[in-house]
Amino acid sequence: METRHYLLPSVEALESAEGLRLERVIQHSGDAVLYDTFDGKLWDAGALLMHALGELRVVGSELRAPFSQAPDAISAADLPSGPLKARLEPLLGVRSALAQVRISGNAANYKLLDELDKTIARVEVQDAAVGSADLGVRAHVWPLRGYEEETDALFAGRFQACSEGIYAEAMAAVGRDPHGIRSKVRVGLSGHEWADGGVARVLRALWDVIDANREGTLEDTDIEFLHDYRVCVRKSRAVLKELRGVFTPAARAHWRAEFRWLQQVTGATRDLDVYLEDFDELAGLVPAQDRAALEPLRTVLANRRVAAREAMVTELRSRRAVALGHEWPLYLARLTEEPVAERPDASAKIDTVAFTRIRKLYSKMVKMGQAIMEGEPHTPAEDYHELRKQGKELRYLVELFGEPLGDAEIVKPMVRTLKGLQDVLGRHQDREVQGAFVRELVDDVAAVEGSAPALLAMGSLIGALERDEVAARAEFGAAFTRFSSEEQRTLVKEAFGK
């Protein structure tokens, strides 16, 4: 349902407007707090959350629930059971809705009625300020389905329409983008720019996302902060590795070591986040009667996560991390000014450098996959893992450079087949690693009183993980055949043939 926004000279101007039949539903004065996720999921879904008058409600709807305080963050688990939670829980997932901005002033909600006293729209009026910034008076109108034209006709000519509502203006007043900060970096590149300049801009955009997610990672606001942090660290490592010719060997070695360190110090916490998030799914691999017996394993995982987080936070607040955050942006800012003698690709065009590397990575993956197929059933798991790593690097280069510089209609089918192969490889590696980790935890679980049923259930879980690993291996051939087909090779040549 598309929202209409109007500028009003006053609240009274709306209530006294001839021809508008309004029934006031609620009115209040005081503070209201807007909530959204870090990446703007609620805003984009038209389900912005507000706290006012001791309740939570979805702006523009009748969804509301009692909620005494306005905390800094609200997770799906914090929401009272009912329609409001049912609406927001799928949108939030593992994310928390964070307090974005506090609005002071007056608000009123109305029903807009037709001549038969039937509700045709909901109207909300805000006369508000954010701190010392006066936001004026705005009306937000949500027509009910089928009454859009009738509602628009009633407001047209009476009030000045505007593109943004008061909530977007409130966000802007505190320097926030209503759409949030996304982990997916999209830099507008030109094929005519030099490679070192284009690479520097992409790496700077990745660092901006890493830096933006740092506080949420340290505060453990929700587990997606660390996930997005690590994804952009991995992408930065891939660029440093694959587009080596724009850096001097010494600088490249230094920064690769620093980003490898960031990846290492955050790895254990992220792994345990995933184990705990997916615990019920893993437990679903064992017979139903054994699932409850796995609870001591969940407890051990939670305790390990506490210890891992403490170690991670210490490292991320260390002098090394602080120095990296200061020095890396400075290095990127001066990259194009460094002597080119040791940077053979610095003065090449960015599309030539990136496309050449994408083609070579794709060819390398085809050869690796063929060797895996020929070696079956005795191919080591490490070969699958290495192919998966190469696939991640290929996908990162395609996302960061191939898509903005290439033909999207050609690139998209290639990305789909790559994702399909990565899904199979990921499941294969995850099951192997998960099985090994559950074995590693046997002694910890055994130390828990009454752990015998848990140990038996863990044995059953290990067996299920091994079987699923074998099943993923069996699916590899079909996924790889699609990825390495003649059709895909032609697509790669067409998309990245410069």
Which of 11, 9, 51, 53 shows the shortest CA–CA distance to 28?
Answer: 53
DSSP assignment of 163-195 equals: SS-HHHHHHHHTT--TT---SS------TTSBH
- pLDDT given for residue 127 in this prediction: 87
pLDDT digits (tens, 9 = 90+) for 179-206: 999 888 999 999 899 999 999 999 999 9
Q: Where are the domains of the chain?
A: 4-173, 195-495
For residue range 71-81, what is the model confidence (pLDDT) as tens digits? 999 999 999 99
Beta bridge partners of 37: none
Determine the pLDDT at residue 162: 84
Task: Please list the residues that pair with 34 across neighbouring strands.
Answer: 50, 101
Distance CA 446, CA 451 (A): 6
- Domain 195-495 fold is CHAD domain (1.40.20)
Provide mean pLDDT across the span 94-100.
Answer: 97
CA distance 461 to 443: 16
Q: Phi-psi bin for 30: left (phi > 0), alpha (psi -120 to 50), beta?
A: left
**Position 126 confidence tier, pLDDT thresholds 50, 70, 90:** confident
Using pLDDT thresholds of 50, 70 and 90, give the confidence band for residue 19: confident
DSSP 144: P
Residue 233 has pLDDT above 70, yes or no: yes
User: What is the pLDDT averaged over residues 230-241?
Assistant: 98
pLDDT value at position 1? 58
> Does position 106 have pLDDT exceeding 90, yes or no?
no
- The pLDDT of residue 309 is above 70: yes
Are the CB atoms for 153 and 136 separated by under 8 Å?
Answer: no
* Region 3-9 average pLDDT: 88
Q: What percent of the chain has pLDDT over 70?
A: 100
The stretch 342-349 carries a mean pLDDT of 95
The tens digit of pLDDT for each residue in 422-473 reads 999 999 999 999 999 999 999 999 999 889 999 999 999 999 999 999 999 9
4-173 under CATH 2.60.120, yes or no: no
How far apart CA 390 and CA 234 sit, in angstroms, is 12
In this prediction, residue 164 has a pLDDT band, given cuts at 50, 70 and 90, of confident
Q: Is residue 498 very low, low, confident or very high in pLDDT (cuts 50, 70, 90)?
A: low
> Is residue 111 a contact partner of residue 23, using CB atoms and an 8 Å limit?
yes
Q: Is residue 163 pLDDT above 80, yes or no?
A: no
Q: Which two tokens stand for residue 273?
A: 């986040």
Q: What is the pLDDT of residues 359-368, one digit of tens each?
A: 999 999 999 9
